[in-house]
Amino acid sequence: MKSIEYNEQLERDVLAALSKPSPWYWVALVVCALLFVTGLSLWLYQILKGMGVSGLNNPVGWGTYITDFVFWVGIAHSGTLISAILFLFRAKFRNAFNRSAEAMTVFAVMTAGLFPLIHLGRTWFFYWLFPYPNQRGLWVNFKSPLVWDVFAVSTYFTISLIFWYTGLVPDIAIVRRYATGFRKKIYSIFSLGWTGSLRQWWHYNRLYVFLAAFATPLVISVHSVVSWDFAMSIIPGWHTTIFAPYFVAGAIFSGTGMVITLVVPMRKIFRLEKLITINHFEKIAQTLLFTSLIVTYSYIVEFGLAFYGHHQFEAAHFTYRLLGDYQVLYWIMLFGNSLLPLTLFVRKLRRSIVYLFIVSIFVNIGMWLERFVIIVTSLAKDFDPYAWGLYKPSVVEIGITLGSFGMFFMFFLIFVKVLPVLSVTEIKEEAAHE
């Protein structure tokens, strides 16, 4: 067909999702919002009563909240991988996913950013983590990995937001054309008065390339910085140089899993099967498999280093991970992260949407458990056996974790009704090249 017909059909297909929501949508949104509000109330309760409402104790000072933090930052990374890195590699299949993936990144970073505040004993002084001039002449400790986190996550959030927004501007201009009344005004404002002129596209292209170029080292550095929250410590299981690449690979792995979890139902509900095809999914599945192999390799290396190095504490620790109090979680993690993805070597399974969805759920669970196991087992049994103690998440921690999921999905649900879930402009551009 002629390209203009194709383009207009494309617009209608994508923007159909922005139509009046079905009752099921409202149900889903309300459920997510309720979870979110419950999470917030539990957080308020925790601030008023103290961190004791969680299951944390001596020696396990970090638990569910830090797991959630690392988990959500990890989810965010996949979005940037798909948007930025695949863009630099000119991987065409990214167009089916990149808008949702970028949205996922922004929402995941927002969710992740709450957790450093949630896990603080005196949350009301959180702003002391930022360096600002004050009467006391006190700045922050730039040697602390937590301060690196502040800078890395803030940068990541800012750049991701800018990147997502930049990509959205031409698409918002499209929605503007179809919108009416008050909504049209809003879209007009947010599209900044975009006309699609030569001058605008000229600078836009450069900006997009530069942002992608900035975002790429950001993906690697941010999760490396987050992993250094652990690697800069001295306790066995944390104190290892492999953490940075291990965590980055894990982040991309978990994020890819979450992309599949989000996009499979979204595609079905909004009837986007023609635009997001099985070939696209197969490519994502290959990414999943590849990063799973890297993660598995990291597990093997961890164990190898511990035992080959004849290091008493490391060996004792890894034995504890495999056979100790949390071994069930460890084995589930191994299954979800290392074993199950191996089945994706089979082409038929790679091309089955249902199977991919199931695998992605296991990947999400497995990766959450991986962070939990790393954090809790290292703290539960470290150098001084007198101090050993176990940890179990409390109702408040579970509630806040569920609240974070509620928040993330709530934002995502709002996103699908307000903005196009596919990068329409880029699809048009790709179609024109064929």
The least distance separating another protein from the CB of residue 166, rounded to whole angstroms, comes to 7
Please name which of 255, 102, 216, 219 lies closest in space to residue 167, comparing C-alpha atoms. Answer: 102
Amino acid at the residue 224: S
Kindly tell me the burial class for residue 13, based on how many C-beta atoms sit within 10 Å of its own C-beta (0-12, 13-18, 19 or more).
middle
Nearer to another protein, 23 or 133 (CB): 133
276: phi > 0 → left, psi -120 to 50 → alpha, else beta; which?
beta
Q: Which of residues 40-69 bind another protein (CB under 8 A)?
A: 49-52, 55-62
SS3 310: coil
Choose among 327, 333, 400: nearest CA to 64: 400
**Under rule CB under 8 A, residue 312 binds another protein:** yes
185-214: contacts with another protein (CB under 8 A) = 188-189, 191-207, 210-211, 214
How is residue 162 written in tokens?
Answer: 């800018």
Interacting residues with another protein between 136 and 175 (CB under 8 A): 137-148, 150-152, 154-155, 158-159, 162-163, 166, 170, 173
Contact 85, 216 (CB under 8 A): yes
- The answer to whether 21 contacts another protein (rule: CB under 8 A) is no
Sites for another protein among residues 99-128 (CB under 8 A): 116, 119-123, 125-126, 128
Residues contacting residue 69 through CB under 8 Å, at least 6 positions apart: 112, 115, 116, 119, 226
Number of residues binding to another protein, judged by CB under 8 A: 110
* Residue 321 Cβ vs another protein, minimum distance, rounded to whole Å: 16
Judged by CB under 8 A, the chain residues 214 through 253 that form the site for another protein are 214, 217-218, 221, 225, 228-229, 232-235
Q: Which is nearer to another protein, 203 or 348 (CB)?
A: 203
Please state the closest distance from residue 40 (CB atom) to another protein, in A: 19
Q: Dig out the tokens for 82 from the structure.
A: 């798909």
Q: From the CB of 49, what's the least distance to another protein, in Å? A: 7
Of 22 and 141, nearer to another protein (C-beta) is: 141
Pair 79, 215: CB distance under 8 Å: no
By C-alpha distance, which of 127, 124, 363 is closest to 252?
363
Binding residues for another protein restricted to 344-403, rule: CB under 8 A: 379, 381-391
Residue with tokens 């800018």: 162
Instruction: Pick between residue 273 and residue 429 the one whose CB is nearest to another protein.
Output: 429
